[in-house]
């Protein structure tokens, strides 16, 4: 399975390191334009004694914000339209200008018409939206109209939309025509709505977390990898639970290769 990461970076040694890590993991980097004189965005993560994380951002001038306004954006768009799956999150939506958002959403629409599956995790972070909840809702709604697979976390949905239960989230997303919905709910069951069926899939093992950073990303990766291999949704969620549980046993966003390899 070929995987590429589309973003923009600077021409500094920190950006060099990011590209090197991606390449070492087999992730194609040809969709990463390098902007002269720029530095990548920065954020720090603090964890409390329970392993829950808190974010601090310094990325107002991040090159990633300009991916769809860089000279190479047309090349990025052509590659996305030719992909099998496009995966993005609400962080992407939160950092783009209105012009870049218009281009990105148009690319998603064209890609979907071309048979590309669009997967999305809302990943709502109030700081990214500078407190403008109404703008976040408007932009998310436009994006969700172009989504095939939704992978939200219930806490994020409750914060942004006021959803009282995962079922309320599922009903709202289903009303937008999304065919496959998986709602993550921490150590509780994940709710699947797909193929005309609805099912809760329990977390197989309650793990005492060391660091919850990237737990949701790991779940999404496990789910999408399993689905692309032909695994049905219920079994894919079980695989996703397993990968996320292993991730939170380790500090940092990327767990050691030996731990990742077994999954």
Domain boundaries, the chain: 148-263
- Residue 72 has a pLDDT of 93
144 has a pLDDT exceeding 60: yes
Q: Express each pLDDT in 146-173 by its tens digit.
A: 999 999 999 999 999 999 999 999 999 9
Distance from C-alpha of 186 to C-alpha of 180, rounded to nearest angstrom: 19
| Predicted confidence band of residue 33 (pLDDT cuts 50, 70, 90) | very high
pLDDT given for residue 198 in this prediction: 95
**Average pLDDT of the residues in 83-104:** 97
- Res. 31 pLDDT band, cuts 50 70 90: very high
Rama region for 162: left / alpha / beta (φ>0; ψ in -120 to 50; rest): left
- Residue 242 in 3-state DSSP? helix
Report the alpha-carbon distance of residue 45 to residue 215 in Å, rounded: 14
Report the C-alpha gap between 253 and 263 in whole angstroms: 16
Catalytic annotation, pick one of 121, 156, 211, 217: 217
Phi, psi (5° rounding) for residue 153?
-100, 135
pLDDT at 52: 80
Residue 261's pLDDT band, with cuts at 50, 70 and 90, is: low
Judge whether residue 43 has pLDDT over 90.
no
Integer CA distances (angstroms), 192 to 112, 119, 198, 216, 240, in order: 22, 14, 6, 15, 12
- The pTM of this model reads 0.92
Judged against a pLDDT cut of 90, whether residue 257 lies above it is answered with no
In terms of pLDDT, which residue wins out, 257 or 95? 95
Strand 85-89 with 53-58, pairing? unpaired
Say how many C-beta atoms besides its own lie within 10 A of residue 220's C-beta: 25
Using 50, 70 and 90 to split pLDDT, how confident is the model at 122?
Answer: very high
Q: Which tokens sit at 183?
A: 């709602």
- Mean pLDDT across the chain: 93
Q: What average pLDDT does the segment 199-225 reach?
A: 89
Residue range 36-58: mean pLDDT, rounded: 83
- Has 148 been annotated as catalytic? no
Q: What is the mean pLDDT of residues 40-60?
A: 81
Domain 148-263 has CATH 3.40.1190.20: yes
Please report which confidence band the pLDDT of residue 258 belongs to, taking 50, 70 and 90 as the band edges: low
Cα-Cα-Cα-Cα dihedral sign, residues 148, 185, 128, 8: negative
User: Long-range contacts: 45-49, Cβ < 8 Å, 24+?
Assistant: 45/213, 45/253, 47/211, 47/212, 47/213, 47/251
Higher-scoring residue by pLDDT: 251, 258: 251
């Amino acid at each position: 399975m070929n995987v590429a990461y589309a973003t923009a970076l600077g021409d500094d040694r920190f950006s060099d390191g990011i590209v090197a890590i991606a390449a070492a993991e087999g992730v194609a980097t040809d969709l990463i334009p390098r902007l002269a004189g720029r530095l990548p965005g920065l954020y720090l993560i603090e964890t409390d004694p329970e392993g829950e994380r808190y974010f601090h951002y310094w990325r107002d001038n991040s090159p990633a914000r300009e991916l769809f306004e860089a000279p190479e954006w047309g090349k990025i768009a052509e590659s996305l339209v030719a992909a099998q799956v496009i995966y993005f999150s609400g962080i992407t939506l939160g950092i783009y200008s209105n012009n870049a958002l218009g281009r990105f959403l148009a690319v998603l629409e064209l890609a979907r018409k071309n048979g590309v599956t669009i997967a999305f995790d809302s990943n709502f972070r109030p700081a990214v939206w500078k407190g403008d909840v109404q703008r976040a809702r408007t932009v998310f709604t436009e994006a969700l109209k172009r989504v095939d697979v939704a992978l939200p976390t219930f806490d994020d949905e409750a914060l942004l939309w006021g959803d009282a239960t995962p079922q309320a989230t599922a009903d709202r997303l289903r009303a937008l025509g999304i065919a496959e919905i998986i709602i993550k709910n921490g150590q509780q069951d994940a709710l699947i709505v797909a193929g005309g069926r609805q099912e809760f899939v329990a977390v197989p093992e309650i793990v005492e977390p060391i660091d919850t950073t990237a737990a949701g990303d790991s779940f999404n990766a496990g789910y999408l990898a399993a689905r692309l291999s032909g695994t049905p949704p219920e079994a894919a969620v079980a695989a996703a639970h397993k990968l996320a549980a292993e991730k939170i046993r380790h500090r940092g966003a990327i767990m050691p290769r030996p731990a990742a390899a077994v999954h």
